Chains A and B, each alone.
Chain A
Amino acid sequence: MKSDMGLIVKTMARATIPLIGIFGAYVVSHGHLTPGGGFQGGATIAGAGILFLITFGIDEAKKRINKSLYSALEGLGGLVFLGAAMLGLSVVFFYNTLWHNGPVFDGKPGTLLSAGYLPIMNLAVGLKVYTGLMSAVFAIALFRRWRK
């Protein structure tokens, strides 16, 4: 089935979707250094996905995006967040043990590999928000009340 969007919209979407995705990935990965974080960056990447879904239609998007995988990845993001919180459970829940005496992510403040579990949590929450929003938008787009 052909989608409703014309050539101009498709060309513009092809040009802008990678840029939006790169910007969202930057916001997620630099969440502990610059304004932004997991929620905001994940919502930005989900905006790129929703633009793809609107522009190229639901049939093209169903071929490219695996919905069951996205539903599973959302739960995985939440579990990684919880696991990063449980890393310092010997002291207290949500103790930043990677920053105080950890083998990785303990560089100087201001560098990318610093701040303990904050980058891990940002990546996990970004993955969770992106896949969750895409799952919800797919569920709404696939919903048909009538029979074919």
Chain B
Amino acid sequence: MRKTFGALSLLFILGILLLIANPNYGLKFGLGGEDWQKYRYTDQYYIDHGIEETGGTNIVTDIVFDYRGYDTLGEATVLFTSIAGAVALLRKWREENEE
């Protein structure tokens, strides 16, 4: 009985969250009016202006390396750090070079 009630309440909360997050009539953050959808959902802007602004015909590369460059920079840092950690943990190279 309790488990059923808990699951039903979770479903109810999920439904309320879906209602709030609906872009047509839900909760709006940031700018008022009708402009907020243009600023939040930017995919059509990338498709329209990507070629003239960055020059690449591959829109994914335009977004990854130009519009969202900071994200790629952090991703490269994560890769570098993980490989440095792997090499430092499995360090057999150093002993082989010293012998």
Contact = CB atoms under 8 A, between A and B. Distances in A.
B90 A118 contact: no
Given A81-B76, A132-B83, A35 B51 contact: no
Contact of A115 (B56, B64, B79): B56
Given A67-B93, A118-B55, A81 B83 contact: no
B46 interface: no
A99 B55 contact: yes
Given A32-B56, A116-B55, A122 B79 contact: no
- Looking at chain B's contact residues, the main secondary structure is helix
Contacts of A136: 82-83, 86-87
Interface stretch (A6-14, A15-23, A71-79): A71-79
B70 interface: yes
Contacts, number: 99
Contacts of A36: 58
B9 interface: no
A72 to B, nearest CB: 12
A32 B61 contact: yes
Of B65, B72, B96, most buried by chain A (CB within 10 Å of CB) is B65
B57 A128 contact: no
A28 B66 CA distance: 17
Interface in A57-104: 67, 71, 74-75, 78, 81-82, 85, 93-94, 96, 99
Interface of A: 31-37, 67, 71, 74-75, 78, 81-82, 85, 93-94, 96, 99, 106, 109-110, 114-118, 121-122, 125, 128-129, 132-133, 135-136, 139-140, 142-144
Interface of B: 51-58, 60-62, 64-66, 69-70, 72-73, 76-77, 79-80, 82-83, 86-87, 90-93, 96
